[in-house]
Amino acid sequence: MFVSAQGSIRDVVFVDGVRTPFGKAKGVYAETRADDLVVRVIRELMRRNPALPPERVDEVAIAATTQIGDQGLTIGRVAGILAGLPESVPGYAIDRMCAGAVTAVTTTASAIAVGAYDIAIAGGVEHMGRHPMGEGVDPNPRFVSERLVDPSALVMGMTAENVHDRFPGITRARADAYAAASQAKAAKAYADGRIQPDLVPVTARHVDSGWELVTADEPPRPGTTVEGLAGLRTPFRPHGRVTAGNAAGINDGATGCVLAAADVADELGLTRKMSLVGFGFAGVAPEVMGVGPIPSTEKALARTGLSIDDIGLFELNEAFAVQVIAFLEHFGLADDDPRVNPYGGAIAYGHPLASSGVRLMTQLARQFEEHPEVRYGMTAMCVGFGMGATTIWENPHFGRTGEGA
């Protein structure tokens, strides 16, 4: 058995997380390289954590769904070199579609737990403006000819319509109401200064207008109303329920975090923003991929000995409003439960596929600081081609009171 030098599984902590502001596809990052977005994230993580010697980083794991062009060439390795990390620090690329960054975290955290690493940088990037989902993909014809999956599985918006079919009580009006609330919560989070501390300013080049310093997310639409959403068309099905307003957009952005063994974090004087309790991945029928977080969450809860009642904060990726509502309904939570996405979600901020998982974790870590009464929090997301991903974290501030909380 491969264990640490101490002969036991080690606790793993989330030291810090940052991200670039997210952009619209063909928007603010239209002429910015994907690997340069990752470089900004890695450099900012090192700048914010001066107690971390660069040579102590054991791995750089960066996810991308479309691993070609400026998102190819083993992006974890090339981004580490471009960011100025020592040549001795290795890196790799990883892919689990929307859960790429989550998988980068769980894979490196597992290696830390058994003693293979002490410290790792994990994250993800997606430049959907340059590399649309599915670019260069050649699906095996057996998927359809042998009816292994429904043809709608290859179009994410159609899978969301299928989830609406499975849960007829989740109406378009209900999805639109959820979406409007997400936009409102994001606007309030910005107004309250909750999001900005973990954003990395990015200088973006524009041929026509020169350079721009990007300091805020491009996708949010403050002032969104249910009435306005009701007038949007349904592109995936005539008289359908999924619209551009109750789904995440097509976006560009990068995320990253520092993970460490708890004892190493203490040795170096690094912060402990969260401690990893456990995680779960699960597969479902690809044509209803939106229900994936339900079994992945059940698996994560079972393996950690927790119940849904133990979870005090939820960061759920809002690929589509319907899949979040289906999750909430399954676990007996209200659509407007205040514990769920208190800063709003991907319907507002955007969803640059492989990068989104660490956005969820970074926001959860920020919320832990505000809520010392909460012990456990969760991130969960649906994953293309029929999967779900869930992580469970413990709040190091739990039980603290006063100014030190």
pLDDT per position in the chain (405 positions), as tens? 344 555 689 999 999 999 999 999 999 999 999 999 999 999 999 999 999 999 999 999 999 999 999 999 999 999 999 999 999 999 999 999 999 999 999 999 999 999 999 999 999 999 999 999 889 889 999 998 999 999 999 899 999 999 999 999 999 999 999 999 999 999 999 999 999 999 999 999 998 899 999 999 999 999 999 999 999 999 999 999 999 999 999 999 999 999 999 999 999 999 999 999 999 999 999 999 999 999 999 999 999 999 999 999 999 999 999 999 999 999 999 999 999 999 999 999 999 999 999 999 999 999 999 999 999 999 999 999 999 999 999 999 998 875 444
Q: What is the Cα–Cα distance from 340 to 337, expressed in whole angstroms?
A: 6
332-388 pLDDT, tens digit each:
999 999 999 999 999 999 999 999 999 999 999 999 999 999 999 999 999 999 999
Kindly give, in sequence order, each residue whose CB lies less than 8 Å from that of residue 400, ignoring residues fewer than 6 positions away: 372
Record the pTM.
Answer: 0.96
Q: Please check whether residue 367 lies inside any domain of the structure.
A: yes
**C-alpha atoms less than 13 angstroms from C-alpha of 374 in its C-beta half-sphere:** 24
Position 8 scores a pLDDT of: 87
Is the CB of residue 353 less than 8 Å from the CB of residue 250? no
The DSSP H or E segment spanning 358 is helix 356-370
3-class secondary structure, 182 = helix
Residue 382 falls in the annotated catalytic set: yes
Number of domains in the chain: 1
Position 2 scores a pLDDT of: 41
Q: Which of 98, 127, 131, 164 is catalytic?
A: 98
The DSSP H or E segment spanning 174 is helix 172-191
Tokens of 2: 């491969």
Position 7 scores a pLDDT of: 64
Q: Which of 131, 164, 351, 397 is catalytic?
A: 351
3-class secondary structure, 209 = coil
Q: What is the Cα–Cα distance from 192 to 366, expressed in whole angstroms?
A: 13
Tokens of 400: 């603290």
Q: Please check whether residue 212 lies inside any domain of the structure.
A: no
Domain around 180: 149-196+276-392
Tokens of 190: 């910005």
Q: What is the Cα–Cα distance from 371 to 222, expressed in whole angstroms?
A: 26
Q: 91-94 and 59-63 as β-strands: parallel, antiparallel, unpaired?
A: parallel
Q: Please check whether residue 79 lies inside any domain of the structure.
A: no
Q: Which of 131, 257, 382, 397 is catalytic?
A: 382
Position 227 scores a pLDDT of: 98
Q: What is the Cα–Cα distance from 261 to 379, expressed in whole angstroms?
A: 20
Q: What is the Cα–Cα distance from 27 to 374, expressed in whole angstroms?
A: 38
Is the CB of residue 86 less than 8 Å from the CB of residue 54? yes
Give the Cα-Cα-Cα angle 19, 92, 314 (nearest 5 degrees).
Answer: 40
CATH of the domain at 184: 3.40.47.10
Q: 91-94 and 119-127 as β-strands: parallel, antiparallel, unpaired?
A: unpaired
Residue 351 falls in the annotated catalytic set: yes
Q: What is the Cα–Cα distance from 208 to 228, expressed in whole angstroms?
A: 33
Q: Please check whether residue 15 lies inside any domain of the structure.
A: no
Is the CB of residue 274 less than 8 Å from the CB of residue 394? yes
DSSP class of residue 136? T
Q: Please check whether residue 108 lies inside any domain of the structure.
A: no
Q: Please check whether residue 59 lies inside any domain of the structure.
A: no
Position 337 scores a pLDDT of: 98
Is the CB of residue 29 less than 8 Å from the CB of residue 37? yes
Q: 311-316 and 376-383 as β-strands: parallel, antiparallel, unpaired?
A: parallel
* Backbone Cα Rg of the chain: 20
Kindly give, in sequence order, each residue whose CB lies less than 8 Å from that of residue 370, ignoring residues fewer than 6 positions away: none
Q: Please check whether residue 290 lies inside any domain of the structure.
A: yes
Q: Please check whether residue 291 lies inside any domain of the structure.
A: yes
